[in-house]
């Protein structure tokens, strides 16, 4: 049975910790992780949780307890990973457009480094030669995902070294003696077509022939999770079989065993998350009926930023008649969560829940309009645990000089 939290559990949490509140379900994270682990069980595979999706240190600790490694995109994420108990060889640092000094600091921690820029690759090679192994991130020029904003493998992307710059890479490696330990690609998010991963594998296999001593290849992530009831998710079981077979076939030609790595973020935590808000006002206009809630894009920016869809339910009146509402926030900007959404009748004071709110929800929140950030709660073994208190007014002043 899929792991879900009940209306009663979510209501009790909102009453105890206030609203808005982010709620995460530990067992759903475990369910998603185990699906991946099972799908790729026929070949040595590591899963590096892309922690930019949700960095609460309690979530990081729970991921480690499941057996996951961790993918970090900033020095602070690396430090959070250390705080959560990850060993250096369990941390992959995949930055973009960072100062070279940040890479130097990361090397003092002994973590794995993934480089996606020719200039940085050359600087790194001259600094370390072959003494500090690296992974190289390639831009495969493969379109992927349903939204250009979350596609990272297209030709105009700032991510990765172009697949057409292999000769530049080879020149740097030969000149500096750089030890290339792995090759990485990541084409984007919301990938339904597993053929995208197989095309990415072809790119990696061709690159790998120039580096005879690779220990691993990294396919990034992009596994799609369903946001709507009729959404198609990535078929990880079929993908596991096809990708595993392709890697095993390549290993025979390569004459070397290589690990397969992935960096799931949204896939692991999106569906575990619930964002509970309270309805402040019902406002009827000549065009629509607004359900105005006690949150806004300061807490959940994905609908405004990515035009993302989140299923919304009224957990205070689940048996009420269906009505049509435009759900908006309390920010002094246009912060429309949903237009013309069919919901069970919404009354002032009702709790509404945004589903699939675990990834890039709290993580992208802000104090815009001097609004306070909400609490975060983790439900594990049926028990709710506060893992971040809600902001208080003093938090707004914490770094200001008075």
List the domains of the chain with CATH numbers: 40-268 (3.20.20.10), 273-396 (2.40.37.10)
Does residue 15 have a pLDDT over 70? Answer: yes
The pLDDT tens digits of the residues spanning 196-226 come to 888 888 888 998 988 989 999 999 988 888 8
**Pair 337, 328: CB distance under 8 Å:** yes
The pLDDT tens digits of the residues spanning 94-148 come to 999 899 999 999 999 999 999 999 999 999 999 999 999 999 999 887 765 554 4
DSSP-derived letter for residue 271 is T
Between CA 73 and CA 391 the distance in angstroms is: 26
Strands (E) located in 116-258: 134-139, 161-162, 180-184, 216-218
pTM greater than 0.75: yes
The DSSP line for 119-139 is: HHHHHHHHHHTTSS-EEEEEE
Q: Which of 82, 80, 75 is nearest to 101 (CA)?
A: 75
Between CA 202 and CA 237 the distance in angstroms is: 20
Catalytic-residue membership of 69: no
* pLDDT at 385 (0 to 100): 98
Token code pair at residue 51: 């922690």
DSSP-derived letter for residue 148 is G
Q: Which of 69, 97, 272, 332 is catalytic?
A: 332
Could you give the 3-state DSSP secondary structure of residue 71? strand
């Amino acid at each position: 049975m899929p792991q879900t939290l009940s209306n009663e559990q979510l209501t009790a949490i909102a009453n105890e910790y206030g609203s808005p509140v982010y709620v995460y379900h530990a067992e759903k994270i475990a369910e998603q992780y185990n699906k991946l682990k099972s799908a790729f069980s026929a070949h040595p595979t590591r899963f590096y949780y892309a922690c930019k999706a949700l960095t609460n240190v309690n979530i990081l600790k729970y991921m480690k307890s499941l057996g996951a490694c961790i993918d970090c995109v900033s020095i602070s994420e690396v430090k959070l990973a250390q705080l959560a108990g990850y060993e250096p060889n369990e941390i992959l640092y995949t930055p973009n457009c960072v100062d070279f000094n940040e890479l130097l600091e990361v090397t003092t921690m002994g973590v794995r480094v993934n480089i996606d820029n020719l200039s940085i690759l050359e600087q790194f090679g001259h600094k370390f030669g072959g003494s500090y192994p690296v992974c190289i991130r390639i831009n495969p020029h493969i379109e992927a995902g349903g939204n250009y904003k979350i596609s990272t493998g297209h030709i105009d992307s700032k991510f990765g070294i172009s697949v057409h710059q292999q000769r530049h890479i080879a020149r740097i490696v030969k000149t500096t003696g750089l030890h290339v330990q792995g090759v990485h690609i990541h084409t984007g998010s919301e990938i339904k077509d597993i053929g995208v991963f197989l095309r990415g594998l072809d790119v990696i296999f061709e690159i790998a022939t120039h580096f005879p001593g690779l220990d691993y290849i990294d396919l990034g992530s992009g596994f799609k999770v369903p946001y709507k009831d009729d959404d198609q998710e990535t078929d990880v079981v079929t993908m596991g079989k096809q990708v595993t077979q392709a890697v095993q076939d390549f290993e025979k030609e390569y004459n070397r065993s290589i690990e397969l790595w992935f960096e799931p973020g949204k896939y692991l935590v999106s569906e575990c998350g619930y964002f509970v808000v309270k309805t402040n006002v019902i406002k009827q206009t000549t065009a629509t009926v607004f359900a105005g809630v006690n949150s806004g894009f300061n807490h959940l920016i994905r609908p405004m930023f990515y035009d993302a869809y989140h299923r919304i339910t009224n957990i205070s009146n689940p048996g009420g008649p269906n009505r049509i509402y435009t759900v908006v926030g309390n920010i002094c900007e246009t912060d429309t969560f949903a237009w013309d959404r069919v919901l069970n009748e919404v009354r002032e004071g009702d709790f509404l829940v945004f589903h699939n709110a675990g990834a890039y929800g709290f993580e992208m929140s802000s104090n815009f309009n001097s609004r306070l950030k909400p609490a975060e709660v983790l439900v594990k073994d049926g028990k709710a645990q506060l893992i971040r208190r809600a902001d208080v007014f003093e938090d707004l002043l914490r770094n200001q000089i008075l």
